[in-house]
Chains A and B, each alone.
Chain A
């Protein structure tokens, strides 16, 4: 079965995000004064062939823990769906 994993990685709470601050300031300049905070992050899409959904989830979690995420500064969430 083909699966598609969508992974979002963001900085942990309390880790300074200079990109986010710069983007927030630009939004304020453009008149979007209602914006309080902007957080930046990374998005990965992983296409994979696996036996079942459970295994696909397990493999993605391993990929995050091993390579895609630095646990010192980042946290992640993901979803996996069947690829048509």
Chain B
């Protein structure tokens, strides 16, 4: 089983992801350089947070055309696991690997703090170890995390159970007070229709050790590792 963390010019949460996978989860982890095409046999690819290409034009808009993204697109089409965190989520949206778009935060501010999330769908490789409706505490840090899509697309997203995380209060309250950025229906993370590509604004890698104030994010990585073990490293993807 092998994990790959993509390094774009401007990635700044890449080492955090690498550290959590290699040192906390103790799984084989490699760097994937944005100008390479080779995914080095990885079973799961992570697009980390940061400011790829300076956030110029639109966040994620230029990273989408990095050579590695063509390989990641093929990998995703074959059923490979792809996780995009924060700027990684923005890149997945700009790539069209996930539906919707991200707008600047409702209040026009950069928001950096812990949020509570409700796990909406546990029937995915990313969330299978969570309980349905479980409330977790994972931090956010972004200026452009206001998830947007048209109401007809939103209905489709709900019907296919592609909403994975919603912002909420400590007891699961879903109202505007607990929505840090103005996202439609408090959405914090969504998947592709086949549940193999997940994008989320909160940073699970920053909540993977008790020392940092929360270990809730660790369960996401553990879910992935468990899923890959159960599915022979995901290498029989095409036969699924």
Q: Give A residues with C-beta under 8 Å from B.
A: 15-16, 18-19, 22, 67-68, 70, 72-73
Q: Known contacts A15-B148, A16-B182: does B94 contact A70 (CB below 8 Å)?
A: yes
Asked whether, in the complex, the Cβ of B104 is within 8 Å of the Cβ of A70, the reply is no
Asked whether, in the complex, the Cβ of B107 is within 8 Å of the Cβ of A18, the reply is yes
- Which A residues are CB-close (under 8 A) to B58? 70
- Residues 80-113 of chain B, each 1 if its beta carbon lies under 8 Å from chain A, else 0: 0000000000000110000011011111100000
Q: How many A-B residue pairs have CB under 8 A?
A: 33
Provide a sorted-by-A list of 28 A–B residue pairs whose CB atoms are within 8 angstroms.
Answer: A15-B148, A16-B103, A16-B106, A16-B146, A16-B182, A18-B104, A18-B105, A18-B107, A18-B108, A19-B104, A19-B108, A22-B108, A67-B57, A67-B61, A67-B62, A67-B65, A70-B58, A70-B61, A70-B94, A70-B101, A72-B93, A72-B100, A72-B101, A72-B148, A72-B149, A73-B101, A73-B103, A73-B148
Q: Give B residues with C-beta under 8 Å from A.
A: 57-58, 61-62, 65, 93-94, 100-101, 103-108, 146, 148-149, 182
> Complex formed: what's the CA distance from A15 to B93 in Å?
17
Tell me the minimal C-beta distance from A10 to chain B in angstroms.
13
Extra A-B contacts (9), CB below 8 Å, given A67-B61, A70-B101, A73-B101 = A16-B103, A18-B105, A19-B104, A67-B57, A67-B62, A70-B58, A70-B61, A72-B148, A73-B103
Asked whether, in the complex, the Cβ of A68 is within 8 Å of the Cβ of B57, the reply is yes
- Which B residues are CB-close (under 8 A) to A70? 58, 61, 94, 101
Tell me the minimal C-beta distance from B106 to chain A in angstroms.
6
- Which A residues are CB-close (under 8 A) to B108? 18-19, 22
Closest residue of chain B to A18, judged by CB? B108
- Which A residues are CB-close (under 8 A) to B62? 67
- Which A residues are CB-close (under 8 A) to B106? 16, 18
- Which B residues are CB-close (under 8 A) to A19? 104, 108
- Which B residues are CB-close (under 8 A) to A22? 108
Closest residue of chain A to B107, judged by CB? A18
Closest residue of chain B to A21, judged by CB? B108
- Which A residues are CB-close (under 8 A) to B61? 67, 70
- Which A residues are CB-close (under 8 A) to B148? 15-16, 72-73
Q: Which of B58, B65, B146, B149 has the most CB of A within 10 A?
A: B58
> Complex formed: what's the CA distance from A40 to B240 in Å?
47
Closest residue of chain B to A67, judged by CB? B61
> Complex formed: what's the CA distance from A15 to B107 in Å?
14
Tell me the minimal C-beta distance from A30 to chain B in angstroms.
18
> Complex formed: what's the CA distance from A68 to B62 in Å?
10
Q: Which of A16, A18, A22 has the most CB of B within 10 A?
A: A18
Tell me the minimal C-beta distance from A8 to chain B in angstroms.
14
Closest residue of chain A to B60, judged by CB? A70
Q: Which of B62, B100, B148, B182 has the most CB of A within 10 A?
A: B148
